Amino acid sequence: MTISLVQVFGWWHKATIGTLFHTWRKGERVGEDEFGNVYYQGGKDSEGRTRRWVIYNGPAEASAIPPGWHGWMHHRTDVSPADEQYKPRDWQLPHLPNMTGTAAAYRPKGSILNPAERPRVTGDYDAWSPES
């Protein structure tokens, strides 16, 4: 495992030195998601539960954790997605991280960053005015 200067001085890239040390000392690899994030467990937290953590494949962005792994990380289930044979339903979309601040962010019609005209208001809405 190589450590870069960004990892030494920046918490936002993959993992801090403390996390890497804890991973080396007590970490048991549990699995990996489709984005390349690697999940570990080992030791106990302050409530006596098994400690769980992730080393991101890129910037540390919590929304990059898919729903199944999110549930496992927060102790909502004891079975990791790597251990269960989960098949998504036909209507389920693939997980996307938060796109805010990127070119793929949601920009509704009429916003500053979307030149399309805002839809006209229908008759079921009355704008508030201070005189009324």
Q: Where are the domains of the chain?
A: 5-73
Q: Which of 64, 59, 57 is nearest to 96 (CA)?
A: 64
Q: Using CA atoms, how far apart are residues 34 and 36, in angstroms rounded to an integer?
A: 6
Q: What whole-number percentage of the chain has pLDDT above 70?
A: 81
**Residue 1: pLDDT above 70?**
no
Find the range with the poorest average confidence among 16-20, 31-35, 87-91: 16-20
pLDDT single digits (tens) 69-117? 988 899 998 888 888 877 778 888 888 888 888 888 988 888 888 888 8
Task: Mark out the alpha helices in 1-132 (DSSP H runs).
Answer: 5-9, 17-26, 67-73
Greater confidence, 10 or 50? 50
* Confidence class for position 125, pLDDT limits 50, 70, 90: confident
pLDDT at 36: 92
In three-state secondary structure terms, 36 is coil
Within 8-110, strands assigned E span: 28-32, 38-44, 50-55
**Residue 15: pLDDT above 90?**
no
Q: What is the mean pLDDT of the chain?
A: 81
**Residue 56: pLDDT above 60?**
yes
Helices (H) and strands (E) in the chain, counts: 3, 3
